[in-house]
Amino acid sequence: MQILDILKTRRSIRKYTSQEVPDEMIRNLLEAGMYAPSAGNQQPWHFVVIRQKETLQRVTNFHPNAKMLPGAQVAILVCGDHSLETKKGYWMVDCAAATQNILIAAHGMGLGAVWLGIYPREERMEGMRKLTGLPAHVDPFSLIAIGYPAEQKPVPSDRIKPERIHYETLMIVPKHKHG
């Protein structure tokens, strides 16, 4: 698949087959995450691979959008380590780039995946911290559910919005409210 095709056809997949995701594929996903750009090349991340079904099930106790997790074959928790930050305040952007790289790589490898937001929701962060034993200087950022897809979703045709493309300056004409 060409990169633009991968980007255009990647969808959030929430239903998975029971086929196990091989360790080599997980290593490749982790590598994709680690090749993400980061501010000043600080790479402030850690990745926690979660395969145990009991652990995946427990996430549903504190994350309202994690219903698909018990059906996933694996999940990757992307975390930001404040002790690795050389460019303060950018760890979230760096972890978002790592998360996106993993999502794109998963799709390119024929896997389905969905990004579950953890940061900045305190109850989700605390739940993941307790579940995985994260130290205080490491914040959970996102959890990516991964498996072989058991669903296909159409490619949306309405993503391109020319009115949101601007050159040199952002010129937005305010919409007037009638009434």
Model confidence over 67-112: pLDDT tens digits?
999 999 999 999 999 999 999 999 999 999 999 999 999 999 999 9
Give a yes or no: residue 174 inside a domain.
no
Beta-sheet strands, E only, within 118-174: 138-147
Give a yes or no: residue 172 inside a domain.
no
Give a yes or no: residue 176 inside a domain.
no
pTM to 2 decimal places: 0.94
Give a yes or no: residue 69 inside a domain.
yes
Range of the domain at 132: 3-164
Give a yes or no: residue 171 inside a domain.
no
| Rounded Cα gap, residues 34 and 94, in angstroms | 10
Say how many domains are in the chain. Answer: 1
| Rounded Cα gap, residues 119 and 143, in angstroms | 10
| pLDDT at site 173 | 72
pLDDT in tens, 122-167: 999 999 999 999 999 999 999 999 999 999 999 988 899 999 999 9
| Rounded Cα gap, residues 159 and 95, in angstroms | 24
Give a yes or no: residue 33 inside a domain.
yes
- Provide the 10 A C-beta neighbour count for residue 32: 19
Give a yes or no: residue 177 inside a domain.
no
> Rg of the chain's alpha carbons, rounded to an integer?
18
Please name the residues in contact with 177: beta carbons below 8 A apart, sequence gap of 6 or more. none
